[in-house]
Structure 1
Amino acid sequence: MPLLIALLMLCCALPAHAATDDDGLLIAAGAGYKRPLLALYQAFERDSGIGVEAAFGNMRQVLAQTRASARVALVVGERRFLAESGLFARTQPFGRGRLVLVRTAALAGRPLTDPAFRRIALPDPARAIYGRAALQSLEHDGLRKPLAERLTVLATVPQVAAHLRAGSVEAGFINATEARALDPERLVVETIDPSHYAPLEIVIGVPTHRAPGAAAERFLDFVATPAARDLLAGYGL
């Protein structure tokens, strides 16, 4: 038993894993940023010849993966969410998130209190920043309690978008990035006043449990280039 304890203490005392190019470049991110990130990864690979291994999920899943695996080189998510986790040595600005409300075209212009809105979807506020922002917006407008029984909580932004496309909900809160892929003839997008919810600063986090390798540093440099900024702006970031 003393030997086992000594070995465990030695493992805990080892320095952070130093990333190498052999580890690959694994970037974990919130599912709501899948579209712009995949486009960004492709542009980065064309520019550098370095491929990116992408992982997406709600932020609780992303943080759990970051804790469990030293292979996660970078994480894309909301600044405060990452800061509260205590998992990151530093962050770099990536973009600003924007909350939107999407209604079916048949109900465009009607208030959410209209009985025709039987189901109003939002991402899980405990796991997704846009779910939290949606509740803040509803609270600001005095609608959170009146609409409580109609709110349908889903796991992620893409799941809300999928239900909107399928017509299984009459309205839903998602981000501006995901909304750009919706059919404007079937679904109407309304941008929520940013003063109605806490600012959503999206950043790239460098985990404390591993030193970033050359590939990760090159990606961070690429994100700051005019070409990358223009690409992200095209997705509402």
Structure 2
Amino acid sequence: MTDLSDFPITRRWPAADPGVIQLYSFPTPNGVKASIMLEETGLRYEAHKVTLDDADVKSPAFLSLNPNNKIPAIIDPHGPDGAPMALFESGAILIYLAEKTGKFLGESATERMQIIQWLMWQMGGVGPMFGQLGYFHAFGGAEIDDPRPHARYVTETRRLLAVLEGRLAGRDWVCDAYSIADIAIAPWLRVLERYGARDAVGWAEYPRTIAYLDRFLARPAVQTGLVTPPRD
């Protein structure tokens, strides 16, 4: 039987089956990247709900796995060197699982780098900018009288949507086939509705992007991953 006792997080969130991948996450745009990828690849895993409350993400148990106190994180009991391996950062997890399974990372070195390029575009652009838009449009920043922060992130979100809209011309997916780039990008498109920001960013002006999100959401693995682990 696989022994994960060297990982302190397993004392706070015990593994029912330590022989499968342990996922520590919450259904945010970043969190569902990992659960969707696990569903898409068919890898066996066990999901543990780690809320965004400080009591969870800043607990010594969680910090022992991810000192950056952000979800998601995983422990793979069957790591690449024959020993359990812990990993955090959603983009790194996507690349790791793609390499582990040989899925969703292209068929050639060129395709692989194109996919990683668009994954980095999401990690460095879409995620941070859309997240700031959410803060200034729907959450604490909405109470700030100065209109400039909100206007900045609306403008940048619109620019990023235009980049994606152009990329999707004649394409179903961001690269030649469905990939980890799509698993990274599409959940962040979905969150614009939750922020109540679609009208602010002119969502209707991006028909290819709208159709792209619909295709993504129609995938059964996506539907399961979006609610794993459940919020309640």
Give the alignment's TM-score, normalised by structure 2. Answer: 0.28
Q: TM-score, normalised by structure 1?
A: 0.28
Higher relative contact order (CA closer than 8 Å, sequence separation 6+): 1
Could you say which structure has the larger radius of gyration?
1
Of Structure 1 and Structure 2, which has the larger fraction of its residues in helix?
2
More strand by share: 1
